[in-house]
Structure 1
Amino acid sequence: MNGLLRIRQRYQGLAQSDKKLADYLLLQPDTARHLSSQQLANEAGVSQSSVVKFAQKLGYKGFPALKLALSEALASQPESPSVPIHNQIRGDDPLRLVGEKLIKEILPLCTQR
């Protein structure tokens, strides 16, 4: 089964830390498939063991199998160009970059009187 589809189907029943991982994987699957379990944990704000357990909860032997499933899911999708979502934010921006861009946009508004 498609790895992304499997995450979407089980999303509602996931624990909060698992939802953090699921959100990151669903929003940034191309980036996530190139990360180590520790790097993914850091990006999603969870522990490394949570990443491994999450993969197992989805029915994979471990994190490498989940990464392979993500790669296969992405390979089966048609290539779509990154499109702007909001001002400088693009659909393929990592979550951290989205946050930085939003802060840069909002901060000047907070200091205006």
Structure 2
Amino acid sequence: MNLYSIAIQQLTRQHMATIEALVRQQPEFDRVEDLADRLRQAGVRAEARYVPAEKLFIAVYGDIAQVEAALETLCRLNRLNCVPGSSSWQLVHQDHSITQPAVLVIHL
């Protein structure tokens, strides 16, 4: 087998591993899209995003007070805790037996 064929095989394996990981994470993608949709229903400009280097998150735009009010309602209705950061929030389950990862919300 020549060097070119070996390189193609290695890259193919790497890409297949990435695709398989994304397939396993589909429920998490669906969850983030659902939360972004609920924020939009509350009048917040929000979009679910995936950036390979930064992972999965919800980008929100507009008035920060409106975003915070919508997040407070969203968290109350979905049994989430909202952990604030500087221009971002982590949405984590109140029930610690649920192992879903926190959802990052970033104000842009």
User: Could you tell me the TM-score, scaled by structure 2's length?
Assistant: 0.32
Tell me which structure has the larger Cα radius of gyration: 2
Report which structure shows greater RCO (CA 8 Å, sep ≥6). Answer: 1
